[in-house]
Amino acid sequence: MVVRVGLCMLQGARHAHIRSLEHASEEGNIPIIIHELRTASQFKKYKCDVYVLPGGETTTMRRTGGSLENGGSGLLQSLFSHLRESNAPVLGTCAGAILLCNPDDGGEPLLPASIERNAYGRQVDSFQDSVNVRLFDRQFPGVFIRAPRFEQSSINCESIATHDGEIVGIMHESRVALTFHPELTDDSGFHVWLLQQAFNSSE
Ligand code: GLN
């Protein structure tokens, strides 16, 4: 099986995800094709098995990927509707996590948690620190860039990563939202996990 990965190319850390996906494909010995998605029509054309929603700026992504009526490409609406219908696995990092928790399209959130943008402060408050990842039972290099924060008491799904005792990664079905950037590290653990989900969901 070749796993078709839909990578949302609206803005932000897209190319780093391509590199991490390629590493993950080698590491997990899982052949992949990466489809770069920018518009609703591309989304329909490439039926993908798993999706990646990168970090960046949610304001820009909501504008570029917003509804066709508002001058956007329609990508986000297509993605969110498809995720709700199909339960396809998705990895959302940083801004991607914000969009999954708060899709703002009139439908149900893709992950049941409230999330606050820029909750650690400004750009100078960005930091790197080790994150405890329960999903892999090991430490992971956490890169937090103008990161959001889950409202801890609002989380209504599984915690998969913590930093300083605070939840920074959550999972609901095969949807993962991280407030940090795994694609900016050499550790492709989360990308391997995502590719493996394609096999689980095809069973
Ligand atoms: N600060 C960004 C936002 O609120 C998210 C930061 C990121 O993705 N690195 O959209």
pLDDT score of 201: 65
Of the residues 17, 94, 163, 191, only one is catalytic, namely: 94
140 CA distance to ligand 1 centroid (A)? 20
Give the separation between CA 176 and CA 134, rounded to whole angstroms: 13
**What distance in angstroms lies between residue 5's CA and the mean position of ligand 1's atoms?**
22
User: What pTM value is reported for the model?
Assistant: 0.96
Q: Residues 35-62, buried b or exposed e (16+ Cβ, 10 A)?
A: bebbbbebbeeeebbbbbbbbbbbeebb
Q: Give the rounded percent of residues in the chain with a pLDDT score beyond 90.
A: 92
Encode pLDDT of 110-149 as tens digits: 999 999 999 998 888 899 999 999 999 999 999 999 999 9
Tell me what the pLDDT averaged over the chain comes to: 95
Ligand 1: which atom is nearest the Cα of residue 55? 8
Atom 2 (ligand 1) nearest CA: 57
| 3 state SS of 170 | strand
Structural tokens at position 102: 């708060």
Counting from 1 in the atom list of ligand 1, the atom nearest the Cα of 54 is 8
Polymer length of the chain: 203
For the stretch 80-106, pLDDT in tens is 999 999 999 999 999 999 999 999 999
Q: What separation in Å is there between the alpha carbon of 56 and the centre of ligand 1?
A: 5
Q: Which of 62, 86, 66 is nearest to 6 (CA)?
A: 86
* Bridge-based pairing state of the strands 50-53 and 3-8: parallel
Atom of ligand 1 nearest to the CA of 60: 10
DSSP for residue 137: T
Reported as a pLDDT band with limits 50, 70 and 90, residue 2 is very high
Q: What is the pLDDT of residue 199?
A: 77
Q: 117 in ligand 1 pocket by Cβ < 6 Å?
A: yes
Q: Is 48 a catalytic residue?
A: no
Q: Is 11 in the pocket of ligand 1 (CB under 6 A)?
A: no
Q: Is CATH 3.40.50.880 correct for 3-201?
A: yes
Q: What percent of the chain has pLDDT above 70?
A: 99
35 is catalytic: no
- Element of type H or E holding 202: helix 189-202
Q: For residue 51, what pLDDT is reported?
A: 98
pLDDT exceeds cutoff 90 at 203: no
Is 48 in contact with 198 (CB distance < 8 Å)? no
**Over the stretch 15-50, which tens digit does the pLDDT of each residue have?**
999 999 999 999 999 999 999 999 999 999 998 999
Look at ligand 1, atom 5, and give the residue with the nearest C-alpha. 95
Rounded to the nearest whole angstrom, what is the distance from the C-alpha of residue 117 to the centroid of ligand 1?
7
* Rounded-to-integer distance, Cα 53 and Cα 160, Å: 18
Please tell me the predicted confidence (pLDDT) of residue 202. 54
CA pseudo-torsion sign 160, 32, 128, 53 = negative
| Per-domain residue ranges of the chain | 3-201
